[in-house]
Chains A and B, each alone.
Chain A
Amino acid sequence: GNSVTQMEGPVTLSEEAFLTINCTYTATGYPSLFWYVQYPGEGLQLLLKATKADDKGSNKGFEATYRKETTSFHLEKGSVQVSDSAVYFCALSAMDSSYKLIFGSGTRLLVRP
């Protein structure tokens, strides 16, 4: 079946450091890929998405590229801020699972001043 694996956290960085959170997926066909962010005490918000191979999603300085050859969708940001501290979820949806979202386990990011 379809699944998503993302790196375990927590990830602790200093402000202005470079961020990478790894995400790989298993799916038949061509899923859509998403990153969601959950700030403390809040629900999940869509951060970015990509719907086909080689697409790059971007938002708020975050980027992720849909790599079909490596089945990956790693999240990157060049310079993190304290306000980026949150839990990040990688997810996929695919036609063979009726487009239900399948989530990774989440990665907590803590950015220190």
Chain B
Amino acid sequence: DADVTQTPRNRITKTGKRIMLECSQTKGHDRMYWYRQDPGLGLRLIYYSFDVKDINKGEISDGYSVSRQAQAKFSLSLESAIPNQTALYFCATSDPDGHYGYTFGSGTRLTVV
């Protein structure tokens, strides 16, 4: 099994629908992250969590929410999807100082029509 598993891998949804992207990890790390990737913009941080009771907004959190259900699980929700949220979404986990780098999931490709 992969260290970080994201579901679904691909999703097409309609404008205005609520959608949840799920992430689970087996690294045993406390820190988890959600990033969004757009062509030419690199990866931008949406939300991050340093432990189960700690949730923080990243640089582009508007229109998104998250839930940290357990140390291993961190889900991202789009409450009312809009077309400019079409992107590739990555979940990641790391040790406390990121010294060993981040471990990323394979990504969820989301299309909002």
A105–B98 contact, CB under 8 A?
A: no
How many of chain B's residues have a CB under 8 angstroms from any CB in A?
25
A68 at the interface (CB under 8 A from B): no
B90 at the interface (CB under 8 A from A): yes
B60 neighbours in A (Cβ, 8 Å): none
> In the bound complex, what is the Cα–Cα distance between A49 and B98 (angstroms)?
11
A103–B42 contact, CB under 8 A?
A: yes
A89 at the interface (CB under 8 A from B): yes
B99 at the interface (CB under 8 A from A): yes
> In the bound complex, what is the Cα–Cα distance between A93 and B92 (angstroms)?
14
How many of chain A's residues have a CB under 8 angstroms from any CB in B?
21
Q: Which residue of A lies closest to B96 (CB)?
A: A99
A42 neighbours in B (Cβ, 8 Å): 106-107
Q: Give a binary string over A25-45; 1 marks a CB under 8 Å from any B CB, 0 the rest.
A: 000000010101000001111
Residues of B within 8 A of A (CB): 4, 33, 40-45, 48, 50, 58, 90, 92, 94, 96-99, 101-107
> Top 8 closest A-B pairs, CB basis?
A46-B101, A43-B104, A105-B42, A99-B98, A103-B42, A93-B98, A44-B104, A43-B106
